[in-house]
Amino acid sequence: MQAATRVSTDGDARRVTVRRVVALLGALALVSALTSLLGPGYLWPLFLFPLVLGAVFFFELGSLAVTVWLGNFFVLYYSFADAPSQETVRQALLGTALFFACGLLLGRVQRRSRNTQQELAASTLTDRLTGLYNYGTFVDYLHNEVTKTDRYGGELCLLMLDLDHFKQFNDRYGHEAGNELLRRIGETLRTLVRTADLPARYGGEEFAVLIRGDETHGYELAERLRRAVEEVTVEVRGEPACTTLSAGIATYPAAAADEADLIESADAALYESKRRGRNRVTIFTGVAGEKDLPASLSA
């Protein structure tokens, strides 16, 4: 599955990491300075603040780094002070050990919380059955990509895909077999598309794939998907069950004035594939704002 890298770029992630490192180092430096000036005494628990920051920002690794800093701080402080008593050394070691244990616990709790949040976020973005992006995510992403294309140029290509005679498949083999077929086709789409492409379950047995490129790129991908779906089978009572795929392709801005127009154009090409016998790919040849031009059969 494409990671959620669609939400933030690698550059954004690096900037966030740098800010977190600076914040953690700043907190450690401030607490160390205060404790050095006023004496460790009862002030060394101030290191709880950077410990929590480390756990929140970097989980167990961050907690370990803060604990190592605390241990070195004790060593350096007492190396320049009068000879510490055994009780002082014992308290320093005990405090460091407690910080280490608490830090690991905080880091693990924070990691589990982060993983839970990511799973919840993913469940709102993807379709549970196929693992592809859902309709809402697709619509939002399409809008953003159209906006980028208007601003920076380039070309988008939308593939609308529909399984042929899927209702008859369900009637003959059952809905559970139909769901299994949808799951396997979802896996096939995820395998064949590029990381930069967005495959989605548009609804029912209909799928959509949005790519950066022209109709040639879209046609090549649609043909690969069509041939791959022919090979997807489900065993039902010892009998292999399969179906075929029809596809429609439209590009933006050549064949559409906006995102709604792009979907309509790709749907028109998909309908043409269905009308001409199914299991084929059709490219919409109209231009933006002119829906009276027919779609051309391309496969």
List active site positions: 205
Asked, as a colleague might, if the bond just before 45 is cis with ω within 30 of 0, I would say no
- Other Cβ atoms less than 10 A from the Cβ of 160: the count is 28
Q: What is the dihedral of CA 52, 56, 61, 63, to 10 degrees?
A: 10
What the block records as the tokens of 223 is: 């043909």
In sequence order, what are the residues at sequence separation of 6 or more whose Cβ sits closer than 8 angstroms to the Cβ of residue 53? 23, 24, 27, 62, 66
With helix as H, strand as E and coil as C, how does 43-80 read?
Answer: CHHHHHHHHHHHHHHHHHHHHHHHHHHHHHHHHHHHHH
Task: Report yes or no: 44 and 3 within 8 Å, Cβ to Cβ.
Answer: no
| DSSP type of residue 299 | -
Tokens 């959509």 -> residue: 208
What is the distance in angstroms between the CA of the first residue and the CA of the last residue of the chain?
Answer: 29
What whole-number distance in Å separates Cα of residue 65 and Cα of residue 33?
A: 18
